[in-house]
Amino acid sequence: VINELLTAMRAAQERREPVYCLGAGFVRYVDHMGNDLSIVRAARVSYNADWRSGSDDGKDAKLIAYLLRHQHTSPFEHVTVTFEVKAPLFVLRQWHRHRTQSYSEISARYTELDEGYYVPAAEQITTQHQSNKQMRTATVHPQAAEMRQTIVDACDAAFADYRELIRCGVPRELARSVLPTATYSRMFATANLHNWLRFLALRSHEHAQYEIRVYAEAILAMLTGIVPHTMAAWEELNAHGKAST
Ligand SMILES: Cc1cc2nc3c(=O)[nH]c(=O)nc-3n(C[C@H](O)[C@H](O)[C@H](O)COP(=O)(O)OP(=O)(O)OC[C@H]3O[C@@H](n4cnc5c(N)ncnc54)[C@H](O)[C@@H]3O)c2cc1C
C-alpha cells in the first residue's frame, strides 16, 4: 500500500496536482533539487569517500537514519524543495515565523484579491481550552452551526465592503484593510530539507493549530515522494519523540 501511495504521490507531483487543505486551500509541489542520494553523498564527503550513484544494499538508508539520530544536519541542507501554498492569512502569519524559508506572496496592492475565505467545518468549532491557553478542546461547541454562520456572515460583509471600497476608487492597498484573517492568500515557500524537517517537527505536532497542521501533513506526504529514506527515518524518530526541532 505504501509503495502504491508513493507511486501515486510521485505521479501527482509530476502533474503538479494540488493537495487540498481546508476547503479551497492547497499545497502544490513546484520544484526540487536533490534527493536521498544527495544527502549521503554530502555526508560521505566528510570521510573523503568517492561519489556513487545507484544501489547500495540499504547502506544509504542506514546512513540517513544515523545522520538524523545524531543531528548531523548539514547533509540535509543539500536538498531544496519549493511548494506553492494557498492558505488563510492567519495560517500564513504562523508560517512566516519560519524565517529560514524563502517566500514570494501574492500582492494585494498589485491585484484585487479573489473572494475566498476559510470557514471551519462545524466539528472544528469546539470550545476554548482552559488550562492550555493556546489551544481548543475536542468538545464541539453546542452552537457550532450558528457560530459557523456568524463567521460566514462576517466574512461576506467584509468582502462586500472591500469590493465597495475598490468600486469607489479607494486604492487596493487600503481597501484590503477590512478583509478578515480567514482570507486566502497564495505564496511560494522554498526551504532546504533540514528546515522543512524543523517546520514539520513544530507544525505537525499536536500542539500546533489544526489549520496549519493539515498543511504540514500534506508537505510531509509530498516530501516522502522526494526523499523516501529520509522521511521514513524522520517519521520513526518522530514517533519516539526524538525528531530534531
Ligand atoms: C505551537 C507553537 C506556538 C507558538 N506560539 C507563539 C506565540 O505565541 N507567539 C510568537 O511570537 N510565536 C509563537 N510561535 C512561533 C515560534 O516562536 C517560532 O518563531 C516559530 O515556530 C519558528 O521557529 P524557528 O525560529 O525555530 O524557525 P526559523 O525561523 O526557521 O529558524 C530556525 C532556527 O534558526 C535559528 N534562527 C533563525 N533566526 C534567528 C535569529 N534571529 N536569532 C537566533 N537564531 C535564529 C534558530 O536556531 C531557529 O530555531 C509558536 C510556534 C509553535 C510551533
For the stretch 179-193, pLDDT in tens is 999 999 999 999 999
Q: Residue 132 C-alpha to ligand 1 middle, in angstroms?
A: 19
Q: To the nearest whole number, what is the mean pLDDT of the chain?
A: 91
Residue range 86-128, pLDDT digits in tens: 999 999 999 999 999 999 999 999 999 999 999 999 999 999 9
- Reported confidence tier of residue 16, pLDDT bands at 50, 70, 90: confident
Orientation of helix 210-226 relative to helix 193-203, angle to 10°: 140
Of the candidates 78, 74, 18, 75, the one whose C-alpha atom is nearest the C-alpha of residue 221 is: 18
Pocket test for ligand 1, best of 76, 96, 97 (most atoms within 8 A of CB): 97
Measuring from atom 3 of ligand 1, which residue has the nearest CA? 208
Cell of 2: 505504501
Question: pLDDT above 70 covers what percent of the chain?
Answer: 88
Establish whether residue 132 lines the binding site of ligand 1, counting it when its CB lies within 6 angstroms of any ligand atom. no
What pTM does this model have? Answer: 0.91
Nearest CA-CA partner of 239 in 205, 194, 210: 205
Cell of 70: 545524531
For the stretch 121-163, pLDDT in tens is 999 999 999 998 888 999 999 999 999 999 999 999 999 999 9
Annotated catalytic residue: which of 109, 148, 203, 213?
203
| Residue 50 confidence (pLDDT) | 63
Q: Are 36 and 223 in contact (CB under 8 A)?
A: no
Which residue minimizes the CA distance to atom 40 of ligand 1? 99
**For position 187, what pLDDT does the model report?**
98
CA of 98 to the centre of ligand 1 (A): 6
Q: Which residue has the higher pLDDT, 75 or 14?
A: 75
Sign of torsion over alpha carbons 99, 205, 87, 77: positive
Reported as a single tens digit per residue, the pLDDT across 54-72 is 566 788 999 999 999 999 9
Give yes or no for residue 213 CB within 6 A of ligand 1.
Answer: no
What confidence category does residue 45 fall into, taking pLDDT thresholds of 50, 70 and 90? confident
8 Å CB contact between 113 and 57: no
pLDDT at 13 > cutoff 60 = yes
The answer, yes or no, to whether any atom of ligand 1 lies below 6 A from the CB of 72, is no
52 flagged as catalytic? no
